[in-house]
Amino acid sequence: MDKTKIAVIDFDGTLFNGESMPFIWKRYGELGYSKTRQMRALFKIIVVKFFAKRKMFKKVTTEVYKESATNYLLKMFKGFTKKDMEKFFDEIYDSIEEKFNEYVVKRIYDLKNDNYKVILISGSYNMLMELVAKKLDIDYSVGTQLNFLDNGNLDVKTRLNIIKKELKVKELYKIFPKEEIDYDRSYSFSDSIADLPILETTNIKEAINPDGKLRKIALDNNWIIYIT
């Protein structure tokens, strides 16, 4: 059986020029949703970021800050149903698309034309990733799962299981088991050293506007580096 050529795409900082959580927070306010909820979420995020930057507590790392932001922002959507969430993401999609990295979008289309299966994998919310995948004709998407209560409302209390690091690899292998992937001809794209585990699932790596640590690894290993 022929193995599958895949292209694994990260979202924040790779396909999307920026971080999706702050962008979601910003657009929430611009669209006229609750200012009180927006400011409450911001205050909690600022407190965690303060400790993360000053490393006052060993457990409060940049990674913990990002996870906390993803969870705190969710509370802005208290009382939202699945349809409400879909409506919100539809409302912000055009402004998200404006911040897509044109090079990465072109690579997606080129690889699809060459019979690659494209997988979008991100720690951002799964409903947003599903919408992006649909708009760009991406084959598969994986994101942090949003859950809904029996009454249909978004569950804003249960802590989210953020898709990151080795968990991204685990989710990828649920779609394509390792032995079914054409490793030598497959691609992965990311901007962050945190994505090193998922980058290692393919032979060909592209570092997109990489952070310092990933850039060093990319240079040492002759990976493709793209800087906008």
Which of 37, 39, 46 lies closest to 65, judged by CA? 46
Which of 129, 131, 139, 89 lies closest to 109, judged by CA? 139
Could you list the mean pLDDT of each consecutive 10-residue stretch along the chain, which spans 228 residues? 96 97 96 96 79 55 75 96 99 99 99 99 98 99 98 97 97 98 99 97 99 98 97
> Could you give the domains of the chain?
6-226 (3.40.50.1000)
Give the distance, in angstroms, between the CA of residue 116 and the centroid of all CA atoms in the same chain: 20
Which of 39, 31, 67, 73 lies closest to 52, judged by CA? 67
Which of 207, 197, 188, 206 lies closest to 169, judged by CA? 197
Q: What does the block give as tokens for 102?
A: 């044109």
Give the pLDDT score at 44: 83
Identify the bridge partners of residue 4 per DSSP, sorted by sequence position. Answer: 181
